[in-house]
Structure 1
Amino acid sequence: MDISGLGSGFLNSLTSAETVKSKVEDEDFQNIIKRAMENKDDEALKDACAEFESYYLNKVFTEMRKSIPKSGLYEETQGRKIYEDMLYEAYSKEISKGQGAGIKDMLFQQLKK
């Protein structure tokens, strides 16, 4: 009994769900920034800038991962890709919590003006 094709529909739905989630997050981020600027809420604006920095760093890590040559030592599976995505998301959140890369501070100063 071949069950190899059973997961493909699920994986495709994950990909489309990820696309929808990304669009919703973009709209949410824009609304958060807009509300924080209108209400002159510095704390909310700082949080939104930190969230943007985390998102940006995650995208940088994702693109950097694509540039790493495949060695063939480990099999490229969907589970491995999900794990790596989660790992890089955690890295980007941790980096933006502390000093960060400086993006959130520059963005905050620009939006504060």
Structure 2
Amino acid sequence: MDIISEATSGLKGISNSADTLKEKKLREACAGFEALMLKQILSQARQGIEKSGLLDGGYGEEMFQSIQDDQMTQKMAASSGLGFGEMLYRQLSQAHAPQSPTSKEK
């Protein structure tokens, strides 16, 4: 963490360290979920491609293709992908945000 921003935030920065860890974990979970969704989309799209039979490789190709898809979808989700993970993160972080005391009903 940056020393200057830590010094200017004071006690607020100290109390938010647990929140930032939760936010980081939530963001990672949302990116992982987006990667999972992207992999499903990719595998369904790949099933629609007709194989020629000339260079199709059986189990070895399936294993390599699965590993390649995993890595590619992880990279896509980490670099905002379709934006689905970010939308999910915003929705979930708002749902678990603490309610402000000024929003009391009369």
Q: Normalising by structure 1, what TM-score?
A: 0.61
Identify the residue that residue 35 of structure 1 maps to in structure 2.
none
Question: 2-side partners of 1:57 and 1:69: how far apart?
Answer: 21
26, 32, 54: which one aligns with 1:73: 54
Identify the residue that residue 88 of structure 2 maps to in structure 1.
107
Secondary structure of the structure 1 residue equivalent to 2:37: helix
The RMSD of aligned alpha carbons is 1.5
Question: 2-side partners of 1:75 and 1:58: how far apart?
Answer: 21
- Please give the residue correspondences for 1:20-99 in structure 2 after superposition, counting only pairs within 5 Å: 41-99=22-80
Q: Normalising by structure 2, what TM-score?
A: 0.65
Provide the aligned length of Structure 1 versus Structure 2: 75
Is there any run of 5+ residues in structure 2 with no aligned partner, and where?
1-17, 95-106
Q: Which of 1 and 2 has greater Rg? A: 2
Give how far 1:76 is off. 3.9
Relative contact order, higher structure (CA 8 A, sep 6+): 2
